[in-house]
C-alpha cells in the first residue's frame, strides 16, 4: 500500500511538472508572438485542465497581446468561473475594464486579485503593473508601487526589472530604463526580453547601430524569438535597406505564421515599395481574413504603382465597402481612388475624391495638378489655368506649371498668352526643350502662312528645340522632331537653299521612311543636284 501511495505521489509530481512545462511553452509562444501555435497549445491545455483559472488567463493573454481584446474577455471571465479563488481571472477582467475606461471598476478587480494572493504573488503584481504601463491610459504611480513589492518578493526575477525599465521609459527616463534592463540581463544573461528591450531603447534614442547589436544578440540567445526579427526589419527599413528588411520580416513571418502577421507583412512590403510582393502577401493574408480592410487598402496602393488600375479600383471599392466607422480614414484612401477614377474615365468622381483628400490634409496641394490635368482632358482650360496660377502665386509653382498654363492657352486658341507664357518657360529654364517646342508650335499658329508673311516666326524656336534635345529624348519626341525638321526644310526651300533643305528632309526620311513629303522632295531635281 505504501508503494502504491509513493507511486501515486510521484505520478502527481511528474504530471504537475509536465503541466507547468507545457504552460510555460504556451506562454513563451505568446511572448514570441506565435499567437496561432500558442492558441492550439492552450486549447489542448484547457481540455486536460478544465478547472485551471491560470490557463484560461494566459489563454486570454494570447488574444490580448494580439490586439483581439474581444476574444480575450470571455477567457478571462472563464478563468473566474472555473476557479473563483484564483487571482488571475480578476486581473484579466480588470484589464478589459481598464481598456474600456472604467478605471474604478478595474481597480476593484485588481484589488481582488491582490487580496486573493495576499500580495505575496509577484506575478500577480507584475501583471497588473504591466497593464498600467502599456495601456493608453497609464497609471505609472501604481505601477512603480506594485513593481517595488514584486522586487521585494522576487529580487532575482529579471522580468520585474524589465517591467521597471518599461515604466521608466514611459516617463522618458532613458537612464533609469537602461539601468533596469541591464539589471535584468545581469540576473539572466539569457533573458531575450531584457536584451530586446535594450535594443528598443537604443532604437528610440536613434542609435541604430547600438540597437542592431542588441537585436542580433537577442537572435543568438533564442533564434525562435520572432520580435527580434521584426525589430531588425524595422531598422533596416528605416535605413533604406529594403531587401534586407524584407528578409528579416519574412523570417519573422516563418516564426509567426498567423493571419495578423501576414497582414502586417503585406503592409510592410507596401511601405518598402515592393508592390508585387505586397500584392502576393496581401492575397495570402486574405485567405484567412477576408474582412481585413487594411489588406484592401494595401492592394489598392500596390496596384496603382503596378499600373494595374482595374484591379486597383476593385480593391479600393472593397476597402470602402468593408470599412467600418472605427477604421480611421487617411487622405490616401481618397487620393488613390481618385487616381483610379481618373484612369478609368470617371473624371467628375476623381475630382471629388482629390478635393476630399486635400480637405483631410491641407498640405497635399500637389493633388491640384491631378485636378488640373483632368480639366485639361475635359477641355476646361480656364479652370486648369486658374489652378496652376493659384499654385504659382502661392510660391509653390515650378516650370512645369508654367508649361501647363501655356498649353492650356494654346489649346484654347489664346495664342498671344500662350506665346508669352512659353517665353517665361524658356526664361525660367533655358535648357528645357519643351519651352522651345511649344513656343514654336504657338508661332506656327500665329504665323500660319510664313511664305506670304515672310516671318517664319517659328524657325528659331524649332532650332532651339532641336539644339536642347538629348539623345535619350529622340524616340520619345520623334513626332515633334519630324515636325521641326519639316518646318526647317520648307524654310530653306523657300530661301532656295536646296542642299540645306535636302539635309533636313533626309533627317525626316531617316526617322520615317514612309514620309511622302520627304520622299517627294528628296527625289526632286534640285535635291539630286546636291552631293
The string of pLDDT tens digits covering residues 490-531 is 999 999 999 999 999 999 999 999 999 999 999 998 888 887
Asked if the model's pLDDT at residue 192 lies above 50, the reply is yes
Q: Which of 487, 526, 524 is nearest to 504 (CA)?
A: 487
CA angle 98, 104, 105 (to 5 degrees): 70
Cβ contact 463:488 at 8 Å: yes
Cβ contact 249:230 at 8 Å: yes
- The residue whose grid cell reads 539644339 is 467
Region 169-193: what's the mean pLDDT? 93
Cβ contact 167:138 at 8 Å: no
First to last CA, the chain: 125
CA angle 495, 498, 502 (to 5 degrees): 125
- The residue whose grid cell reads 544573461 is 189
Rounded to whole angstroms, the Cα distance separating 302 from 271 reads 10
How many Cα atoms are found within 13 Å in the side-chain-facing hemisphere of 410? 21
User: Confidence class of residue 21 from pLDDT cuts 50, 70 and 90?
Assistant: low
Q: Which three cell numbers stand for residue 468?
A: 536642347
pLDDT tens digits along 121-145: 999 999 999 999 999 999 999 999 9
Q: What is the CA radius of gyration of the chain?
A: 36
User: Confidence class of residue 63 from pLDDT cuts 50, 70 and 90?
Assistant: very high
pLDDT at 20: 54
pLDDT at 9: 37
CB atoms within 10 A of CB 190: 10
How many Cα atoms are found within 13 Å in the side-chain-facing hemisphere of 493? 21
pLDDT at 7: 32
pLDDT at 14: 36
pLDDT tens digits along 440-467: 999 999 999 999 999 999 999 999 999 9
pLDDT tens digits along 393-436: 877 788 999 999 999 999 999 999 999 999 999 999 999 999 99
Asked if the model's pLDDT at residue 12 lies above 60, the reply is no
Asked if the model's pLDDT at residue 364 lies above 60, the reply is yes
Q: Which three cell numbers stand for residue 381?
A: 482650360
b vs e for 198-232, b when ≥16 Cβ sit within 10 Å of the residue's Cβ?
bbbbbbeeeebeebbebbebbbebbeebbbbbbbb
pLDDT tens digits along 279-325: 999 999 999 889 899 999 999 999 999 999 999 999 999 999 999 88
Q: Torsions phi, psi of 301, nearest 5?
A: -65, -45
Region 332-347: what's the mean pLDDT? 93
| pTM listed for this prediction | 0.61
Q: Which one is predicted more confidently, 462 or 219?
A: 462
Rounded to whole angstroms, the Cα distance separating 80 from 290 reads 34
Q: Which of 199, 193, 223 is nearest to 212 (CA)?
A: 199
Asked if the model's pLDDT at residue 3 lies above 50, the reply is no
Question: CA–CA distance from 42 to each of 47, 74, 90, 472 (Å)?
Answer: 9, 14, 19, 64
Asked if the model's pLDDT at residue 17 lies above 50, the reply is no
Asked if the model's pLDDT at residue 16 lies above 60, the reply is no
Rounded to whole angstroms, the Cα distance separating 323 from 26 reads 34
Cβ contact 426:398 at 8 Å: no
CB atoms within 10 A of CB 34: 23
DSSP 8-state assignment for residue 287: T
> Residue length, the chain?
531
User: Confidence class of residue 333 from pLDDT cuts 50, 70 and 90?
Assistant: very high
Rounded to whole angstroms, the Cα distance separating 37 from 256 reads 8
Rounded to whole angstroms, the Cα distance separating 354 from 104 reads 46
Please enumerate in sequence order all residues whose Cβ is within 8 A of that of 524, keeping only pairs 6 or more positions apart, or say none: none
Cβ contact 240:263 at 8 Å: no
Asked if the model's pLDDT at residue 11 lies above 90, the reply is no
By three-state DSSP, how is residue 92 classified? helix
- The residue whose grid cell reads 481540455 is 47
Q: What share of the chain has pLDDT > 70, as a percent? A: 96
- Compute the mean pLDDT over every residue in the chain, rounded to the nearest whole number: 90
Q: What share of the chain has pLDDT > 90, as a percent? A: 67
pLDDT tens digits along 231-271: 888 888 878 787 788 888 888 888 887 787 788 888 888 88
> Which stretches of 39-93 are assigned E, i.e. beta strand?
none
Rounded to whole angstroms, the Cα distance separating 292 from 265 reads 13
Q: Which one is predicted more confidently, 8 or 119?
A: 119
State the burial class of residue 307 (Cβ atoms within 10 Å of its Cβ: 0-12, 13-18, 19+).
exposed
C-alpha torsion sign, points 428, 432, 438, 439: positive
The H or E element spanning position 313 is helix 309-322
User: Confidence class of residue 1 from pLDDT cuts 50, 70 and 90?
Assistant: very low
Cβ contact 469:480 at 8 Å: no
State the burial class of residue 8 (Cβ atoms within 10 Å of its Cβ: 0-12, 13-18, 19+).
exposed
Cβ contact 254:269 at 8 Å: no
Rounded to whole angstroms, the Cα distance separating 82 from 53 reads 6
- Please state the separation of Cα 75 from the chain's center in Å: 34
Amino acid at each position: 500500500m505504501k508503494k502504491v501511495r509513493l507511486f501515486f505521489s510521484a505520478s502527481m509530481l511528474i504530471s504537475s511538472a509536465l503541466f507547468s512545462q507545457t504552460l510555460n511553452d504556451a506562454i513563451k509562444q505568446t511572448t514570441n508572438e506565435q499567437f496561432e501555435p500558442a492558441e492550439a497549445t492552450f486549447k489542448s491545455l484547457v481540455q486536460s485542465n478544465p478547472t485551471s483559472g491560470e490557463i484560461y488567463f494566459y489563454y486570454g493573454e494570447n488574444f490580448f497581446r494580439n490586439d483581439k481584446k474581444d476574444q480575450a474577455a470571455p477567457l478571462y471571465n472563464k478563468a473566474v468561473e472555473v476557479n473563483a479563488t484564483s487571482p488571475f481571472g480578476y486581473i484579466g477582467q480588470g484589464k478589459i475594464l481598464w481598456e474600456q475606461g472604467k478605471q474604478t471598476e478595474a481597480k476593484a478587480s485588481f484589488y481582488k486579485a491582490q487580496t486573493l494572493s495576499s500580495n505575496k504573488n509577484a506575478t500577480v503584481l507584475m501583471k497588473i503593473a504591466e497593464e498600467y504601463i502599456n495601456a493608453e491610459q497609464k497609471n505609472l504611480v501604481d505601477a512603480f508601487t506594485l513593481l517595488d513589492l514584486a522586487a521585494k518578493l522576487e529580487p532575482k526575477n529579471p522580468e520585474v526589472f524589465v517591467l521597471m525599465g518599461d515604466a521608466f521609459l514611459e516617463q522618458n527616463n532613458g537612464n533609469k530604463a537602461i539601468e533596469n534592463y541591464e539589471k535584468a540581463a545581469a540576473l539572466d544573461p539569457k533573458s531575450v526580453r531584457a536584451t530586446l528591450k535594450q535594443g528598443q531603447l537604443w532604437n528610440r534614442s536613434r542609435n541604430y547601430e547600438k540597437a542592431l547589436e542588441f537585436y542580433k544578440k537577442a537572435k543568438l540567445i533564442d533564434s525562435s524569438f520572432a520580435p527580434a526579427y521584426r525589430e531588425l526589419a524595422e531598422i533596416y527599413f528605416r535605413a533604406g535597406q529594403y531587401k534586407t528588411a524584407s528578409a528579416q520580416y519574412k523570417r519573422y513571418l516563418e516564426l509567426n505564421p498567423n493571419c495578423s502577421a501576414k497582414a502586417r507583412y503585406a503592409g510592410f512590403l507596401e511601405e518598402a515599395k515592393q508592390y508585387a510582393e505586397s500584392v502576393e502577401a496581401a492575397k495570402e493574408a486574405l485567405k484567412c481574413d477576408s474582412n481585413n480592410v487594411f489588406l484592401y487598402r494595401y492592394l489598392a496602393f500596390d496596384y496603382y504603382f503596378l499600373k494595374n488600375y482595374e484591379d486597383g479600383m476593385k480593391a479600393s471599392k472593397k476597402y470602402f465597402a468593408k470599412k467600418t466607422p472605427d477604421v480611421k480614414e487617411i487622405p490616401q484612401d481618397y487620393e488613390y481612388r481618385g487616381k483610379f477614377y481618373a484612369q478609368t474615365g470617371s473624371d467628375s468622381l476623381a475630382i471629388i475624391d482629390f478635393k476630399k483628400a486635400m480637405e483631410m490634409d491641407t498640405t497635399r496641394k500637389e493633388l491640384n495638378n491631378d485636378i488640373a490635368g483632368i480639366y485639361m482632358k475635359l477641355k476646361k482650360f480656364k479652370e486648369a489655368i486658374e489652378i496652376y496660377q493659384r499654385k504659382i502665386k502661392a510660391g509653390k509653382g515650378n516650370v512645369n506649371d508654367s508649361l501647363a498654363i501655356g498649353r492650356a492657352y494654346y489649346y484654347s486658341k489664346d495664342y498671344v498668352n500662350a506665346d508669352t507664357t512659353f517665353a517665361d518657360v524658356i526664361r525660367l529654364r533655358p535648357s528645357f526643350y519643351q519651352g522651345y517646342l511649344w513656343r514654336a508650335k504657338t508661332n506656327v499658329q500665329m504665323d500660319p502662312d510664313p511664305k506670304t508673311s515672310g516671318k517664319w516666326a517659328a524657325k528659331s524656336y524649332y532650332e532651339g528645340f532641336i539644339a536642347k534635345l538629348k539623345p535619350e529624348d529622340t524616340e520619345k519626341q520623334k513626332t515633334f522632331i519630324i515636325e521641326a525638321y519639316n518646318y526647317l526644310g520648307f524654310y530653306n526651300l523657300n530661301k532656295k537653299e536646296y542642299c540645306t533643305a535636302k539635309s533636313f528632309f533626309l533627317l525626316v526620311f531617316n526617322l520615317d521612311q514612309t514620309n511622302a513629303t520627304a520622299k517627294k522632295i528628296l527625289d526632286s531635281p534640285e535635291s539630286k543636284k546636291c552631293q
